[in-house]
């Protein structure tokens, strides 16, 4: 992926809004992203009417090479549109992340990998933790899981303990 000065583009659909006008997946929160080292002055937000418009805007942004990363929040994935987006991303070198609420499955995707991220108990007050499950990986092995821990020093990834290692499981990230 390209680094600065290119911005990151977040694309949301108004169909993904709740009664209170917020995204079901949550919106990018600038102070939180800043704490993760994201240059918040390089973020662009675009709200679209539907998934088709989100995919169109994502493809245009990727083809223009004007964004380093495109994050698209979608309800469903159209296989033709996602294939076009994947080809555009490969050509331009732009990173594309498609976010789908609730781990929606069943629709085709040409993504190189598919992940499920879930919250994980944090180990200290200044950390944030997630469990990352690799559900699909083109040319790799799916079914693996990691614990991701973010703290002020950066991101740390650790493989999940195996089922046979009860002591490591009991200790969580301390293992």
Q: What is the pLDDT of residues 127-147, one digit of tens each?
A: 888 888 888 888 878 888 888
Tell me the pLDDT of the chain averaged across its residues.
75
Q: Which residues contact 23 (CB under 8 A, 6 or more apart)?
A: 12, 16, 17, 73
State residue 174's pLDDT score. 42
Strands 128-137 and 145-151: antiparallel
pLDDT at 87 over 80: yes
State residue 151's pLDDT score. 77
Map tokens 């879930």 to a residue: 118
> Contact, 75 vs 16, CB < 8 A?
yes
Highest mean pLDDT among 35-39, 76-80, 117-121: 117-121
Confidence of residue 62 (pLDDT cuts 50, 70, 90): very high
């Amino acid at each position: 992926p390209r680094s600065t000065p290119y911005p990151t583009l977040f694309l949301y659909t108004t169909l993904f809004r709740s009664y209170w006008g917020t995204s079901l997946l949550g919106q990018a929160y600038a102070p939180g992203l800043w704490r993760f080292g994201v240059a918040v002055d390089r973020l662009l937000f675009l709200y679209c009417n539907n998934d088709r418009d989100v995919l169109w805007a994502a493809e245009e942004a990727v083809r223009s090479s004007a964004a380093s990363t495109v994050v698209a929040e979608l309800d469903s994935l159209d296989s033709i549109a996602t294939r076009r987006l994947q080809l555009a991303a490969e050509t331009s070198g732009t990173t594309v992340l498609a976010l789908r609420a609730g781990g929606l499955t069943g629709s085709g995707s040409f993504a190189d990998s598919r992940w499920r991220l879930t919250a994980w108990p944090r180990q200290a007050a200044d950390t944030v933790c997630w469990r990352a499950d690799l559900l699909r990986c083109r040319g790799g092995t799916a079914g693996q899981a990691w614990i991701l821990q973010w703290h002020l020093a950066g991101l740390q990834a650790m493989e999940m303990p195996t089922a046979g290692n009860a002591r490591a499981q009991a200790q969580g990230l301390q293992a």
